[in-house]
């Protein structure tokens, strides 16, 4: 007797289940391909389960500020307050920092390298980032010790901080430990700290080590003002891994996979985001939903183009040390 098998369409899955499945696809597929397949998939991809993690760092570094703000606002709005991880580079406008903070009730990992936030902006938004456990403000040259102090006082759960600097921004400048003191006095729970090419001295590092007893990883590559005795570190901080101050050609994994900033080269795609028509989306003749994108930045007015192999894509900003 032959057994009867029932085959069910993917379209019959509930939107939440489809959303979880779609998180395994690339961001560009979720934005431009999935909505065109069918109505149920289009509905699922607009739900919050697809947008709990948003990573547009590679693309955002080659984007105009207004275009970047529009896309980011659209994706964050889709998360419906469930956003847990956000990675974006080069934010410029005060309004977008405020928008992120207003939607950060569930945000745990926030990467904002090369952004133009100031001490004043950080003071305004820090109180809304209380759930942050990892923060990347590398190459943000407009903030200083006051901003780090505000972050430390408001982000009580902070365990990871990236405050790497570009060597061209620090070359020839005197050593100063103001940021080190701000970190040591307000971030006692730190386990992971990156301060590559920072204008920090041995005194500043010792202050951090004395006040951050849980520290497991310290990146001080390019911090030429720091001299630490290896025997002292092994005796006083046996669980601490220190990189630098010498810069090596390779970067070994430190076990903090969630905080890794290394991207898979095979997944690299640069995006060109311009005004224009988005193209045809699937529409059921019996139940039109032309306005489905209206509350999310009018996606029908946006266009995404994808291309690979930009030869000079990395010339504007060297990779993180």
Number of domains present in the structure of the chain: 3
For residue 30, the model assigns a pLDDT of: 80
pLDDT band at 273 (very low <50, low <70, confident <90, very high): very low
Same domain (yes/no): 55, 137: yes
> Does residue 313 form part of some domain?
no
Same domain (yes/no): 198, 115: no
Please state, in angstroms and rounded to a whole number, the distance separating the CA atoms of residues 68 and 73. Answer: 9
3-state secondary structure of 143: coil
Query: Per-residue pLDDT tens for 74-133?
Result: 889 988 888 999 999 999 999 999 999 999 999 999 999 999 999 999 999 999 999 999
- What is the pTM assigned to this prediction? 0.74
Angle between helices 178-186 and 202-211 (to 10 degrees): 0
Same domain (yes/no): 70, 40: no
Domain limits for position 23: 8-50
Same domain (yes/no): 86, 135: yes
> Does residue 277 form part of some domain?
no
For residue 137, the model assigns a pLDDT of: 97
Q: Of 217, 248, 279, which one is at a domain's C-terminal end? A: 248
Please state, in angstroms and rounded to a whole number, the distance separating the CA atoms of residues 147 and 169. Answer: 18
Q: Of 116, 143, 170, which one is at a domain's C-terminal end? A: 143
> Does residue 282 form part of some domain?
no
State the chain's mean pLDDT as an integer: 77
Q: How far is CA 135 from CA 41, 115, 207, 261, 272, in A?
A: 33, 13, 21, 12, 27
> Does residue 176 form part of some domain?
yes
> Does residue 83 form part of some domain?
yes
Cis peptide before 18 (omega within 30 of 0): no
- Strands 270-275, 302-307: pairing kind: antiparallel
Q: Of 143, 167, 188, which one is at a domain's C-terminal end? A: 143
> Does residue 80 form part of some domain?
yes
| Across 90-104, 216-230, 291-305, least confident range | 291-305
> Does residue 260 form part of some domain?
no
């Amino acid at each position: 007797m032959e057994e009867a098998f029932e085959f069910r369409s993917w379209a019959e899955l509930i939107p939440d289940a489809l959303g979880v499945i779609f998180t395994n696809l690339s961001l560009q597929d979720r934005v431009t391909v999935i909505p065109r397949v069918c109505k149920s998939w289009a509905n699922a991809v607009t739900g919050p389960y697809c947008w709990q993690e948003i990573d547009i760092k590679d693309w955002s570094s080659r984007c105009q500020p207004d275009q970047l703000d529009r896309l980011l606002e659209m994706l964050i709005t889709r998360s419906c307050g469930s956003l847990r991880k956000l990675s974006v580079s080069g934010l410029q406008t005060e309004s977008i920092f405020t928008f992120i903070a207003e939607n950060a009730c569930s945000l745990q990992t926030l990467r904002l390298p090369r952004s133009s936030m100031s001490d004043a902006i950080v003071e305004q938004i820090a109180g809304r980032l209380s759930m942050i456990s990892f923060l990347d403000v590398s190459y943000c040259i407009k903030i200083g010790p006051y901003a780090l102090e505000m972050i430390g006082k408001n982000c009580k759960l902070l365990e990871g901080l990236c405050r790497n600097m570009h060597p061209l921004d620090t070359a020839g400048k005197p050593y100063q430990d103001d940021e080190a003191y701000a970190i040591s006095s307000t971030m006692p729970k730190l386990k992971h700290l990156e301060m590559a090419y920072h204008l920090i001295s041995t005194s500043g590092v010792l202050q951090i080590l004395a006040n951050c007893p849980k520290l497991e990883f310290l990146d001080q590559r390019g911090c030429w003002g720091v001299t630490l005795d290896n025997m002292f570190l092994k005796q006083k901080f046996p669980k601490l891994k220190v990189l630098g101050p010498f810069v090596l050609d390779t970067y070994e994994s430190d076990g903090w996979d969630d905080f890794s900033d290394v991207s898979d080269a095979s997944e690299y795609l640069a995006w060109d985001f311009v005004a224009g028509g988005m193209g045809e989306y699937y529409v059921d003749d019996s139940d039109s939903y032309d306005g489905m994108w209206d509350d999310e930045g009018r996606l029908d007015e946006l266009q995404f183009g994808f291309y690979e192999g930009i030869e000079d894509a990395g010339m504007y900003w060297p990779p993180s040390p």
